Chains A and B, each alone.
Chain A
Amino acid sequence: MANVARKLSAPRRGVGNAFWSFMKSPGFARMLFPVAVILFWLGAMNVIISIWPFMAEVLPTPLEVWGAMWDELIDPFVDGIQAATRANVYATFGRSLIRLGAGFAIAMVLGTIIGLAMGLSKSVDAFFHDWVMAILAMPALAWALFLSLAFGFGHTGPILTVILTGIPFVIVNIREGVRNTPRELFDMARSYQVPQQRITRHVLVPSLMPFMFAAVRYAFSIGWKGLVIAEVFGGQDGAGWTIKFWYDAHRAHAVVGYAFFFILFAIVLEKIVFDPIQRRVFKWRPQITNLQLVEKMFDEPRLALDMATVADASAQPDGEGDRIDG
């Protein structure tokens, strides 16, 4: 309310006021952030170099970093000749994305099957529960190192890492989805003798959709984080391998530049791919309290998990038969 009042009263009086209201807008603050980061970067560099003068050779300036990024971006268009050992950023990210896609698809299929079974049957749930939790809590680094030891360099290690890091999120979300299907609707459909196919199409699938989406989102982004680590240790090319390549070559500016590609990639994925889909998926169902919670915590599927465990804990002592949440 206060904000609305301020907005109504503050502007529309001369250029000066318009300028100030622009300066005060959150959008301007958001644009200011990158500027502040660069200023901080330069300031911190000065401080560090004044303490340890030899650091001048290590610390990259923003311009050097931009140069490294520009080389990666423009490389193929300048002379068409590539250094034999490495590909440009499009090729490396492309290769990584293919691996990610393969692992992700397998994780989705297996995870959906296991998740459905766990949601539908308590016995299956008891069978898998502890192991899903354990795999979920295992750091991607452990998989990456172990699988690169076991399978050597190549595709197997990274793809298996994607599967193993992604699959628990699929399982947990699908299981929650099944548990949250509105049972009244099933009962009603059955009492009106709606055929099973139409029940599946019009009741089960729509109620599963938001959870399915959450599964896709988490599995994809967690799988990506796992994949780049796996490529560092067990890959021969790809995005993760390349940033390690620059690291081993002691090119700090290239490492930072490549890190910016990772950041840009993550932001594009979030803002341009997942957010619009999310808006679509959730349009018809504006209030799913549980899931909204999950959604806000991007990269914190643990919340979904915690809710699942809380639900388990509340279901266990009194052991009620079918848990139906409103």
Chain B
Amino acid sequence: MATTVEQERPEAASTEEALLRQRLRRERINKLVFRFLGYVFFLGIWEFASGRILEEALIPGPTRVAQTIGDIWGRGDVPDAFRATLLRIFVGFTISFLIGAIIGIISQNRWLEGFFKDAVLVSLTAPGLIWALITAIVFGNREIGPIIAIVLTTFALVTVNVSEGIRALPKDLVDMGKAFDVGLLRRNRHIVIPHLAPYLFTGLRFGFSIAWKVTVLTEVFSSSRGIGFEMRLATQLFQTDEFLAWVLMFFFFALFLEKVVLQAFERRFFRWRQEVAAA
């Protein structure tokens, strides 16, 4: 596009503008080239390592993994595993999001904030592994295990974001509400929650990025369906190519949800609020 425009009016524009445009174009091309080189470099290392540095059984190259992805699709295991895992993430993270948001909102009260402080700290800092193991040993392979693990690892992310929002709450509006004797519930409904919406959304995105990882982790220990289970199976059968195929498939799918779907949704949702959309 840019080239045709410039061909149409070669020396018409001021030379400064032309120079600038040229520089920008060169930069963009430069960037694309290096990006491409990056892909070539990393994929090349991976392909080279397989079979030369380590045996091919240990590190199957990208072409081999792509083939295996095709094979697995052909077997028809994929939709089942995805459905099981996504259902767990959905149920677990919905509960977690609600709990996290409620704790964040009631933490406007300083006493309650003090009460939940350590819960949030522990949830943020402790490794997800311990929740996966505890829920696995207590609940076996009942569905409630992964759900509790998801709640325990992700609710705090929502809470932290919500309390971030609470800190930025428009105090004057709340004070005015109080002065005019607006009740607690209505104040929350009409001032606090609309103000918090973008923070809730950030919490949603962060929480989701942790939730899918924890879900897969719990599935490795305690389930007989889902991505984590397939990963464990491939590991135990020592099929590295199948393992990588499962990991990469779900990785790209989760990234797609996280970066594309949620972000597009967010942009749409907040289009009416310029300052949020810009931030």
Q: CB within 8 Å of B: which residues of A?
A: 3, 24-30, 32-34, 36, 58-59, 122-124, 126-131, 137-142, 145-146, 148-150, 221, 224-225, 228-229, 232-233, 240, 243-244, 247, 250, 252, 255-256, 258-259, 262-263, 266-267, 269-270, 296-300, 302-303, 319
Comparing B10-18, B76-84, B93-101, B107-115, the segment that makes contact with chain A is B107-115
Asked if A225 meets B240 with Cβ closer than 8 Å, knowing A26-B114, A59-B138, A252-B137, the reply is no
In the complex, the answer to whether B114 meets A127 with C-beta atoms within 8 Å is no
* Across-interface contacts of B161 in A (CB, < 8 A): 297
In the complex, the answer to whether B58 meets A269 with C-beta atoms within 8 Å is no
Q: A118 to B134, alpha carbons, bound, how many Å?
A: 41
B126 an interface residue at 8 Å Cβ cutoff? yes
Q: Report the minimum CB–CB distance from A131 to chain B (whole Å).
A: 5
Residue from A25, A142, A243 with most neighbouring chain B CB atoms (10 Å): A142
In the complex, the answer to whether A296 meets B115 with C-beta atoms within 8 Å is no
In the complex, the answer to whether B111 meets A127 with C-beta atoms within 8 Å is no
In the complex, the answer to whether A266 meets B122 with C-beta atoms within 8 Å is yes
* Across-interface contacts of A256 in B (CB, < 8 A): 134
- Give me 8 other A-B pairs in contact (C-beta within 8 A), A127-B35, A127-B37, A252-B137 excluded: A126-B30, A126-B31, A138-B247, A140-B213, A149-B235, A232-B129, A233-B235, A266-B126
* Across-interface contacts of B221 in A (CB, < 8 A): 247
Asked if A145 meets B251 with Cβ closer than 8 Å, knowing A29-B112, A150-B58, A267-B122, the reply is no
5 residue pairs bridging A and B, Cβ less than 8 Å apart: A24-B111, A26-B110, A266-B127, A319-B24, A319-B27
Q: A189 to B131, alpha carbons, bound, how many Å?
A: 53
Taken residue by residue from 23 to 36, chain B's Cβ proximity to chain A (1 for < 8 Å, 0 otherwise) reads as: 01001101110110
Q: A142 to B247, alpha carbons, bound, how many Å?
A: 7
B8 an interface residue at 8 Å Cβ cutoff? no
B231 an interface residue at 8 Å Cβ cutoff? yes
Q: CB within 8 Å of A: which residues of B?
A: 24, 27-28, 30-32, 34-35, 37-39, 41-42, 54, 58-59, 110-119, 121-122, 124-131, 133-134, 136-138, 157, 160-161, 164, 206, 209, 212-213, 216-217, 220-221, 228, 231-232, 235, 238, 240, 243-244, 247, 251, 254-255, 258
In the complex, the answer to whether A221 meets B209 with C-beta atoms within 8 Å is no
In the complex, the answer to whether A145 meets B243 with C-beta atoms within 8 Å is yes
In the complex, the answer to whether A225 meets B128 with C-beta atoms within 8 Å is yes
Q: A300 to B207, alpha carbons, bound, how many Å?
A: 9
In the complex, the answer to whether A259 meets B220 with C-beta atoms within 8 Å is no
Of B32, B125, B130, which is within 8 A of A221 by CB?
Answer: B125
In the complex, the answer to whether B138 meets A58 with C-beta atoms within 8 Å is yes
In the complex, the answer to whether B110 meets A225 with C-beta atoms within 8 Å is no
* Across-interface contacts of B160 in A (CB, < 8 A): 296-297, 300
Q: Report the minimum CB–CB distance from B223 to chain A (whole Å).
A: 14
Q: Report the minimum CB–CB distance from A178 to chain B (whole Å).
A: 17
* Across-interface contacts of A28 in B (CB, < 8 A): 114
In the complex, the answer to whether A33 meets B115 with C-beta atoms within 8 Å is yes
Of B24, B137, B217, which is within 8 A of A58 by CB?
Answer: B137
**A-B CB contacts (within 8 Å), total count:** 171
In the complex, the answer to whether B114 meets A29 with C-beta atoms within 8 Å is yes
In the complex, the answer to whether B27 meets A247 with C-beta atoms within 8 Å is no
Residue from B38, B128, B251 with most neighbouring chain A CB atoms (10 Å): B38
Of B121, B206, B232, B255, which is within 8 A of A303 by CB?
Answer: B206
Asked if A126 meets B58 with Cβ closer than 8 Å, knowing A137-B255, A141-B220, the reply is no
* Across-interface contacts of B41 in A (CB, < 8 A): 127
Q: A26 to B115, alpha carbons, bound, how many Å?
A: 7
Residue from B110, B117, B127, B130 with most neighbouring chain A CB atoms (10 Å): B127
* Across-interface contacts of B251 in A (CB, < 8 A): 137-139, 142
Q: Report the minimum CB–CB distance from B207 to chain A (whole Å).
A: 10
Asked if A269 meets B133 with Cβ closer than 8 Å, knowing A138-B251, A142-B247, the reply is no
Residue of B nearest to A260 (CB): B130
* Across-interface contacts of B27 in A (CB, < 8 A): 122, 319
* Across-interface contacts of A298 in B (CB, < 8 A): 124-125
Q: A276 to B26, alpha carbons, bound, how many Å?
A: 47
* Across-interface contacts of B111 in A (CB, < 8 A): 24-26, 29
In the complex, the answer to whether B255 meets A139 with C-beta atoms within 8 Å is no
* Across-interface contacts of A269 in B (CB, < 8 A): 125
Of B118, B133, B206, which is within 8 A of A30 by CB?
Answer: B118
Q: Report the minimum CB–CB distance from B44 to chain A (whole Å).
A: 12
Residue of B nearest to A250 (CB): B137
* Across-interface contacts of A233 in B (CB, < 8 A): 235
Of B42, B114, B129, which is within 8 A of A225 by CB?
Answer: B129
Asked if A130 meets B114 with Cβ closer than 8 Å, knowing A141-B216, A150-B240, the reply is no
Q: A296 to B251, alpha carbons, bound, how many Å?
A: 27
In the complex, the answer to whether A297 meets B114 with C-beta atoms within 8 Å is no
Of A58, A127, A252, which is within 8 A of B38 by CB?
Answer: A127
In the complex, the answer to whether A139 meets B213 with C-beta atoms within 8 Å is yes
* Across-interface contacts of A26 in B (CB, < 8 A): 110-111, 113-115, 117
In the complex, the answer to whether A33 meets B119 with C-beta atoms within 8 Å is yes
* Across-interface contacts of B38 in A (CB, < 8 A): 126-131
Q: A255 to B21, alpha carbons, bound, how many Å?
A: 63
Of B24, B128, B134, B157, which is within 8 A of A300 by CB?
Answer: B157
Asked if A34 meets B124 with Cβ closer than 8 Å, knowing A3-B110, A26-B111, the reply is no
Q: Report the minimum CB–CB distance from A231 to chain B (whole Å).
A: 9
The 8 closest A-B pairs by CB, nearest first: A26-B114, A266-B125, A29-B114, A259-B130, A29-B115, A126-B34, A139-B213, A127-B38
